[in-house]
Structure 1
Amino acid sequence: MSNYDGQNPYYGGEGGGFVQNGSPFGSQGSPGGGKKPRAQTIRPVTVKQVLDAVQTHGDADFLIDGQEVGVILMIGSVHNESRSATNVSYEIGDGTGHIDVRLWLDSADDEAGKLEGVKMDHYVSIMGTIKTFGGKRHVSATHIRPITDHNEVYNHLLKSLYVSLVLRNPSGLAGAINGAGTHDDYSAGNVQNGNGNGNGLESAFAALPPLQRKIMEIVAAEDGDDGMHVSTVSRQVTGFKTEDVMDAIEGLMSEGMLYSTIDDLHVKAMG
C-alpha cells in the first residue's frame, strides 16, 4: 500500500503508530496519566466520521470516538471542482458521505505540482485537518494524491473502521480479532433463512473456506439493488482480521462471486 514519505500512516514500529499494544495511543493513553494527549499520528477516517466529529467550542480540537484528532487521512472520489487564484476546492465522496476539501496554492507552479494526477471521478488520498468556516465543515488539505491501486481504497476503509472499533472497545475488539468468537455469529446481522436457522445460505456456500463463506452468506442475505457496503460486511464478520476480510472480498470479486454496484465500496452476490 502506498503511503506518504514512505511511512505507514496507520501503524508504526515499536516506537510509534496509531494502534500499539492494544491501545490507540500506546502507553500515553493509560488511566491516571494526566491530561489526555493529542493524537500524534495520522488518523485514518471516513467522510462520515469527519462530518460527525464533535467540537465542544470554536477553538477546541475535533473529537472522533472521544479522542482528539489532528492530522487525518481520507480517501474518496472527486465529484466537483472549483478553483480560485489561491485555492482549489473539491467535493469528495467515499460511500459514507460527501465533504468539501480545500487545498491552498501559492502559485501556478504550486498548482501544477500539488494537483498532478487529480481527476474527476477518480479516487484520491487526502492528508489534512478538519476545519469549519461559515458554519460549514470542510477538510483543509496539505497533500492530495491520486490512487492508482484500488486495494488502497478498501484497505483504508477497513483500517478506519478498525481504529474506530479499537477506540470504542479495545478489549472487546481484540477478543474478536483473536478468534474469541467460536460460532457463526454475525451480531445484529445474523444470516437466516425462512426457518431462522441460517442453514439455507450456509449450505449454498459450504464448499468455500470459512471466511469467504461468512462473507457470501452475509452479502447474499442483502436483497437490495445497491448491495452492501464493505464496512457493513466487515462489521458483521467476527473472528478475522480486517485485512483478511478485505483480501477475501477482493478474491470473491475476482472469482466472479461478488460484484460492485453503485460504487467500488458496495458489493452484491452473483445469483
Structure 2
Amino acid sequence: MYNGGDHYDGNGGGAANANSLFSGGGFMPSQTTNTPEGSGGITKTRGAQTLLPLTVKQIMDASQTNDDKSSFAVNGTEVSTVRLVGRMMNKAERMTDVQFILDDGTGRIEVNRWENETSDTTEMGLVKDGDYVIVNGGLKSFQGKRHIVAYSVRLVTNYNDITHHFLYCIYVHLDLAKAKKSGTQPQVTANASWNQAPPPNNQAPTLSASGNAGGQDLTDMVMNVFHDPVLVNLEHGVSIEQVASRLNISDALARSTVTHLIDVGNLYPTIDDNHYKSTLNG
C-alpha cells in the first residue's frame, strides 16, 4: 500500500527528520467517539473534519459508513478532509473551476478546485501538468465515483515533502489499525514540535529580538493562537485578521506564516482562503 515511495525522487530526506515527524500528532484524529455496537464499529472524529494524510489507494479502499454513501471510513475511522501528494495530470481550466487527475503512485483520483476568488485563480496558475502538488480537500462521491474537492493546491518545491507525506500516511495507518484492533482510541500527543520539519530553504519568518516576543519563533506563536481555548471552537476556524490582531503583526506576515504552517501540515483552510483550523484540533 505504501510502496509508492520508490516512484518519487524523494532524495531520502524523510529519515533524517524521523524523530520530529513521529514525536507529535498533528495529523492524528482528535477527540474521537466510539459509536455503539451494531453501527459497524466506526469511530467518528469530531465532525469528521480532522485532516488525514492518505494515499489514493486508501481512499479507493475506504468503506462507506451510511446508506446514502456520503461518508467514508479508513481503518474504522470516519474521514472527510484529506491531504494527498502526487503528480498533476490532465489539467483542464474551465470558467469557474480547474479539474485535474492526481497520480500518487498508488492510484489516480479526480480533483476539482473551484475558483471563487482571485487568489484561487492565482494559486492554480502556479501549477501545471507534471508538477508534484500538495492537495488539501474534502473527499466526496458522485454517482459512485470518488473525487476530491480541493481547498488548496500547492506546488511541491522540496521533494522531501513527498517522502514526509508517505511517512505520515504509514504512521497514521499503523496508529489507527492498532487502535481498531485493541478497541482503544487513537493516541494524540501534543508537544512543542507540532510535527514541524521544514527544509532549510523553506523557513517561516521569525520575530527579531526587538519583536513582540523577544525572538520567539513566530510559527509557535501563531500555533498558540489557533490553540487558544477562546478561538479553538469557532465553527469556521481562525481568520488571518484574528492572528494579526492577537500578535500585533501585519496581515501579510500573518498570512505568510499561516501558509508555511499549511505546507508543513499544521493548519488547513476551512470555508475560504482567510479561515483556518489546526490539524491537531480538527
Name the TM-score, length of structure 1 as normaliser. 0.50
Which of 81, 84, 97 aligns to 1:71? It is 81
Contact 1:88 1:104 in 2 (8 A): yes
| In 2: Cα distance, 1:30 partner to 1:170 partner | 11
Partner of 1:37: 45
In the TM superposition, what is the alpha-carbon distance from 1:146 to its structure 2 partner? 0.3
Offset of residue 110 of structure 1: 4.3
> Cα distance 1:112–1:66, how it changes in 2: closer, same or farther (>3 A)?
same
Alignment partner for residue 160 of structure 1, among 142, 166, 169?
169
CA contact (8 A) 2:115 2:121 kept: no
For 1:42-83, what per-residue CA distance to the aligned partner results, in whole angstroms no more than 9, with x for missing partners?
Answer: 100111111112213325421111101121111010111112
Cα deviations by residue, 1:123-176 (Å, 9 ceiling, x for unpaired): 000010111123311101010000000000011011111101111114999xxx
- Counterpart Cα distance in 1 of 2:102 and 2:51: 19
Is 1:11–1:17's contact at 8 Å kept on the other side of the alignment? Answer: no
Greater RCO between the two (CA within 8 Å, min separation 6)?
2
The structural deviation recorded for 1:17 is 3.5
Q: In the alignment, which residue of structure 2 is the partner of 1:90? A: 100
| 1:18–1:42 CA contact under 8 A, matched in 2 | yes
2:111 matched to 1:101? yes
Alignment match, 1:25 = 30
RMSD: 3.0
How far the C-alpha of 1:94 sits from its partner, in A, is 0.6
Q: CA deviation at 1:29?
A: 4.9
- Structure 2, unpaired ranges of 5+: 1-20, 37-42, 183-282
- Could you tell me how far apart the structure 1 residues matched to 2:137 and 2:23 are? 19
Output the CA distance in 2 between the equivalents of 1:147 and 1:121.
11
Q: Pick from 133, 136, 159: which aligns with 1:124? A: 133
Q: Is the 8 A contact 1:125 1:147 kept in 2?
A: yes
Tell me the amino acid that sits aligned with residue 133 of structure 2. Answer: V
**What displacement does 1:122 show?**
1.1
Output the CA distance in 2 between the equivalents of 1:37 and 1:99. 24
Contact 2:76-2:180 at 8 Å conserved across structures:
no
**Matched residues in 2 for 1:43 and 1:50: separation?**
11
How many pairs does the alignment contain? Answer: 154
TM-score w.r.t. length of structure 2: 0.48
Indicate if the aligned counterparts of 1:86 and 1:104 stay in contact, CA closer than 8 A: yes
Identical-residue share of aligned pairs (%): 35
Equivalent residue of 1:115, what SS? Answer: helix
- Residue 49 of structure 1 is matched in structure 2 by 58
Q: Is the 8 A contact 2:70 2:140 kept in 1?
A: no
User: Distance between the aligned counterparts of 1:168 and 1:11, measured in 2?
Assistant: 16
